[in-house]
Amino acid sequence: MLESFSPQSSAEKLIFCMLTEHLNYSTANAATCLASAILTPGDPKTRRQALARPDREQWLDAERTEIHNMEKKNVWSVVDRADIGDKTPIRHTWVYKLKKAASADVPPRYRARLVARGDLLEFEETEDNYSPTANFEMVRLLLALAAGNDLRIATHDIAAAYLNAELDADQVYYLEPPEILNLPNHQVLQLHRALYGLRVSAKKWYEKLSSTLRVIGFIAIGHDEILFLYRSPSFHIAATIYVDDIILWYSNQQAQDFFVDNLSKFFEFSHNEDLGFFLGAELHQDIERGFITMSQEHFLASIAKRFEVPQKRTTTILPESYIKLFSEEDTIVTDRRQHKLYQSAIGSLLYLQACSRPDISFAVSLLSRRSRAPRIKDCFALNHLMQFCYTTKSIHLRWDRRGTPHGKQFLHNSLLAASDASWGECKSTRKSQTGLLLLLNGSLVSYSSKLQKSVSLSSTESELQACSNAVQLIIVFRQLLKELGFAQPTPT
């Protein structure tokens, strides 16, 4: 069997290496297989790598651009090392990214970001660095309402977002100057703004952006205050924020012009009324036909390239049926690099599932439980699942102005919910599995497939747990819909 097996993908190479290792075969070399699986070309990880590449000048230009932007925003001032007392300057690192454009005619952009090593600072338990940010449920809710009510969608990306936020007077940080500044050894940088990497930066930026939106006239709704609403007699706007990205729906062009004109008084940003990409998902709106779609074909293509998923091999069957049959006594993956590859693939699939692929929720839930100690058969199942996702990459979510089909009618702006549960699904813990979904205007706004937190003594108990979780979710969404002006007149 093994002599005739020719590994096609990185996942298969991983499996082949493990089989030859545990069955004492000498026909494959584990290191060679893993090298081809993991060492794929990509962005430089360190400055040394960036400067050793043929395109080093482009990376240096990107660094100079970053430094210029920071100096323009007065991110720091130069001080003598002797004047900072017993304070220890923070180390820094560079993060490099080659950002490809949607069109092949547009050259890629070289981006370099200076990041403080805030992870090396001593953590204080009294620190309050919480910064709320939008999740995919919030984004899908806005898309569903926009599709159902002929509202337009636009996305905005704020340039150098964190650097717009000032540090408090008692938040004093010093930074070792980057090499490109060519400062003498006796000088360091005192930070005045929320540099990327500081633990306080995310919170300071959220406070800056949310206070700016309030100054413009928005009000925050929801318990997390990540959804903002603006109403006037002539238009209304709803927006949610994900770090430096803003997605909003608006009722007419006057609303969009109002938002752009006012936000440009405070920040530099790019705006896109043709949607395109948002958080790794492709958004498309057809105003005339009245629908919005969310897909991830480009993200799946990048996964397929990274993990070398065979493009000519196809499968349209999920691996759930045989994942559940796997024995806990199967051979465990012991090689750390193999383990890392498994976890990396699971992370990619979790992101895919959370964004636009509810159909793989159960399979990903099962495989992610083995992330700490994956077994050989888990790797086979993972490879199968990745192949399934690539084969069905055109699957997408679609919201429609007609509403959600329900019997012989369509429910417009009406929230529908469903829950289900297995009993004793997990063979090792005997915990049950809960499945939840909420629909609005033709497609899902929330969904999940998770293991329950406690063991149910009967199938009735597991069903009640699932129903309880669904009710909690319904309450949150009904309240949000009410605050957005779409109160539910009937029970969900």
Q: What is the pTM of this model?
A: 0.82
Q: At what angle do helices 10-22 and 30-38 cross, to 10 degrees?
A: 160
- Domain boundary residue among 337, 367, 391? 391
pLDDT tens across 402-456, in order?
888 888 888 889 999 999 999 988 888 899 999 999 999 989 999 999 999 999 9
CA 199 to chain centre: 19
Could you tell me whether strands 276-278 and 76-80 are parallel, antiparallel, or unpaired per DSSP bridges? unpaired
In a domain, 5, yes or no: no
Which residues, in sequence order, are CB contacts of 388 under 8 Å at separation 6+?
315, 316, 317, 318, 319, 360
Whether the Cβ atoms of residue 279 and residue 242 lie closer than 8 Å to each other: yes
Together in a domain, 282 and 305: no
Other beta carbons within 10 angstroms of residue 372's beta carbon come to 9
Sign of the C-alpha dihedral computed for residues 269, 271, 276 and 279 taken in this order: positive
Together in a domain, 320 and 421: no
Together in a domain, 359 and 418: no
Distance CA 194, CA 202 (A): 8
| 466: confidence class by pLDDT, cuts 50, 70, 90 | very high
Together in a domain, 152 and 272: yes
Q: Read out DSSP for 48-76?
A: HHHHTSTTHHHHHHHHHHHHHHHHHTT-E
pLDDT for the residue numbered 10: 44
Whether pLDDT at 178 is above 90: yes
- Pick from 10-24, 164-178, 323-337: least confident: 10-24
Together in a domain, 86 and 194: yes
Whether the Cβ atoms of residue 145 and residue 236 lie closer than 8 Å to each other: no
Whether pLDDT at 94 is above 90: yes
In a domain, 2, yes or no: no
Whether the Cβ atoms of residue 173 and residue 167 lie closer than 8 Å to each other: yes
Other beta carbons within 10 angstroms of residue 80's beta carbon come to 10
Q: What value does the mean pLDDT take over residues 177-182? A: 93
Together in a domain, 306 and 419: no
Distance CA 153, CA 136 (A): 15
Distance CA 206, CA 208 (A): 5
Q: At what angle do helices 376-391 and 297-306 cross, to 10 degrees?
A: 140
Together in a domain, 181 and 301: no
Together in a domain, 31 and 52: no
Other beta carbons within 10 angstroms of residue 41's beta carbon come to 5
Whether the Cβ atoms of residue 290 and residue 400 lie closer than 8 Å to each other: yes
- Domain boundary residue among 340, 365, 391? 391
Together in a domain, 90 and 214: yes
Residue for token pair 């599709």: 147
pLDDT tens across 281-319, in order?
999 999 899 999 999 999 999 899 888 888 777 777 776
| SS3 of residue 121 by DSSP | coil
Q: What percent of the chain has pLDDT over 90?
A: 60
The tokens describing 238, both together, are: 């709803």
In a domain, 21, yes or no: yes
In a domain, 488, yes or no: no
Dihedral angle of Cα 9, 12, 18, 22, to the nearest 10 degrees: -140
| 189: confidence class by pLDDT, cuts 50, 70, 90 | very high
In a domain, 353, yes or no: yes
Together in a domain, 443 and 308: no
In a domain, 62, yes or no: yes
| Number of domains, the chain | 3
Could you tell me whether strands 397-400 and 404-406 are parallel, antiparallel, or unpaired per DSSP bridges? unpaired
Together in a domain, 78 and 141: yes
Together in a domain, 76 and 167: yes
Range of the domain at 90: 47-295
Of 450, 433, 221, 245, the C-alpha closest to 354 is 450
- Domain boundary residue among 277, 295, 313? 295
Q: Read out DSSP for 256-269?
A: HHHHHHHHTTT--E
Q: How far is CA 42 from CA 35, 52, 55, 355, in A?
A: 14, 14, 13, 24
